Structure 1
Amino acid sequence: MKKTIADLDFSKDNGLVPVIVQDVNTKDVLTLAYANKESLELTQKTGNSWFWSRSRKKLWMKGEESGNVQNVKEILVDCDSDAVIYLVEPTGPACHTGEKVCFHNDLG
């Protein structure tokens, strides 16, 4: 079923939806971030992954500082319309630490 941004439920987390970022080729989960309506619109418009920073309270594009942009190939919406997946082709590491993925620490 085809969904639009207007179909998304932004009411559960202060106007945000969680975004799982996944490598379209390897299926690795790269990171988890959050998006508001504007960042989703920018993602669709530019083809790059945009998010809302909860700590800095501003929009940001992955790679705007590091150069490690993520080219968004598809956006999937979950069954409740309150979370999305960006399927991306990354141009470098996803994590700000330089790791390929943000999920690289074991919980012991």
Structure 2
Amino acid sequence: MTSTPSALDPAIAARLKRSADGLVPAIAQQYDTGEVLMLGWMDDEALHRTLTTGRATYWSRSRGEYWVKGDTSGHVQHVKAVALDCDADTVLVKVDQIGAACHTGDRTCFDADVLPLGQ
């Protein structure tokens, strides 16, 4: 992650419970249907950018850089609301998803591999 200080509101930053690598999981959910779209990762700066730009911004663990959902694919996430869970260790980003949320082209990252129950 970047070592540049974030402009995230210090009151919000003080509440976050981050992993050892400074990240919190961010669940993207379709704001009007409740459909769970994907899981990404945010550090303080990604959360700050998400809150201030209205576009979901994540930290790519594999590429080591920030990415704004849809900048490459056109499958934009317009942010409608952001909430912390009760432990402040997970972010819920309610979005209006344009196109596919998953990099595979599926609507959600959870469409392709549904596990059987009762096995």
1:6 equivalent in alignment to 2:14: yes
Q: How many residues align?
A: 105
Q: Percent identity?
A: 44
Q: Which aligned segments of 4 or more residues in structure 1 are displaced greater than 3 angstroms?
A: none
Shift of 1:41: 0.6
Task: Tell me the C-alpha RMSD between the 2 structures.
Answer: 1.3
Output one character per residue of 1:51-77: Cα deviation in whole Å (capped at 9) or x when no partner: 001111110010010011101111010
Runs of at least 5 residues in structure 1 that lack an aligned partner in the other structure? none
Task: Name the residue aligned to 1:31.
Answer: 38
Normalization by structure 2: what TM-score? 0.83
Normalization by structure 1: what TM-score? 0.91
CA distance in 1, matches of 2:31, 2:106: 18
Larger radius of gyration: 2
| Contact in 2 for aligned 1:8/1:81 (Cα 8 Å) | yes
Q: Secondary structure at the match of 1:59?
A: strand
1:84 equivalent in alignment to 2:91: yes
